[in-house]
Amino acid sequence: MIAFFGMGLLGSNFVRSMRQRGIDVNVWNRTPAKAHALAAAGARAFDDPAEAVKGATRLHTTLSDDAAVDDVLERARPGFGKDLVIVDHTTTSPAGAAARVARWAERGLGFQHAPVFMGPQNALEASGIMLASGDRARFDGLAPELSKMTGKLVYVGPQPDRAAAFKLLGNLFLMAMTAGIADVLGLAKAMGVGSKEAATLFDTFNPAATMGARVKRIVTGDYGNPSWELSMARKDARLMLEAAESGQVQLALVPAIAREMDRWIERGHSHDDWTVIAKDSLG
């Protein structure tokens, strides 16, 4: 029997998917009605997390943040069996994930952080990506069951905080990409191009095709053989900002990028590849 805490959009669909595979699941949520709604899928709902976890071999959690995970686990602790393994899918801080692994190890229980790149439909369909890190033997023992919850299960290393770090890296990119799309549509509006028409650009222009080469250039520091000089990129940023101002549209990312370009131009990098603006970020 599995216990699952956190019946939001993601957690509830994880449970529905488990029930479709015939798994017995006890569920709990801070708002009891959300847990009781899963009774229609055959899950058993509880109002007390300690009661919900009694007899479970695994406890899965999809909660809001570090504080919520710590609070709920402490509340549920009286119901923990000695062989229970905790699998936390919550997006948390790397420091928080590492601290929980150590804390629960001291208490004799395994804690596996396994954050996901998934939406609710992915959880229902067992698609998307699940990350995991930490003790390899624990991961290998859990992998057959975790693999059933996702399209791809990726082990990112023995460091207990590594999955949390990679999840934040991925989410940062998604935020930046979305803000970039917003700037594209904002600039289109300023120039009198409708949103739907502007979106057709990506029917033929695929920026993702350049991702691998761009990342490689940045990581290897290959700035001296430019494909797009920083000075020319800065000129284009100026044109974008002028068009946006003329159309009374405020862009989110381009002003910040332009400031960073100016900083690197002042440092003498006008004729380097424009990706030099990422140089200070390298570890």
Side by side, the strands of the sheet bearing 129-132 are: 116-117, 129-132, 152-155
**Predicted confidence (pLDDT) at residue 137 exceeds the cutoff of 90:** yes
Does one domain contain both 89 and 178? no
**Predicted confidence (pLDDT) at residue 156 exceeds the cutoff of 90:** yes
pTM, two decimal places: 0.95
Mean pLDDT rounded to a whole number for the chain: 97
Residue 41 tokens, joined = 């899928």
Does one domain contain both 259 and 125? no
Q: Residues 2-48: pLDDT tens digits?
A: 999 999 999 999 999 999 999 999 999 999 999 999 999 999 999 99
The per-residue pLDDT for 73 is 98
Does one domain contain both 170 and 125? no
Q: Residues 31-43: pLDDT tens digits?
A: 999 999 999 999 9
Residue 30 tokens, joined = 């801070």
| Number of residues that this document lists for the chain | 283
Instruction: Determine phi and psi for 25, rounding to 5 degrees.
Output: -135, 125
Q: Which of these three, 136, 157, 178, is where a domain ends?
A: 157
Determine the Cα–Cα distance for residues 215 and 253; give it in Å rounded to an integer: 19
- Are 161 and 94 in contact by the 8 Å Cβ rule? The answer is yes
Does one domain contain both 217 and 267? yes
Determine the Cα–Cα distance for residues 273 and 242; give it in Å rounded to an integer: 23
Does one domain contain both 16 and 43? yes
- Are 114 and 91 in contact by the 8 Å Cβ rule? The answer is no
Does one domain contain both 107 and 174? no
Tell me the pairing of strands 129-132 and 116-117.
antiparallel
Determine the Cα–Cα distance for residues 247 and 227; give it in Å rounded to an integer: 30
In the chain, the number of structural domains is 2
Does one domain contain both 151 and 200? no
Q: Which of these three, 157, 188, 209, is where a domain ends?
A: 157
Q: How confident is the model at residue 283 (pLDDT cuts 50, 70, 90)?
A: confident
Instruction: Determine phi and psi for 104, rounding to 5 degrees.
Output: -75, -25
Does one domain contain both 79 and 147? yes
CATH number of the domain bearing residue 264: 1.10.1040.10
Residue 208 tokens, joined = 């993702």
Does one domain contain both 265 and 211? yes
Domain extent, residue 249, equals 166-281
Does one domain contain both 109 and 147? yes
Does one domain contain both 153 and 171? no
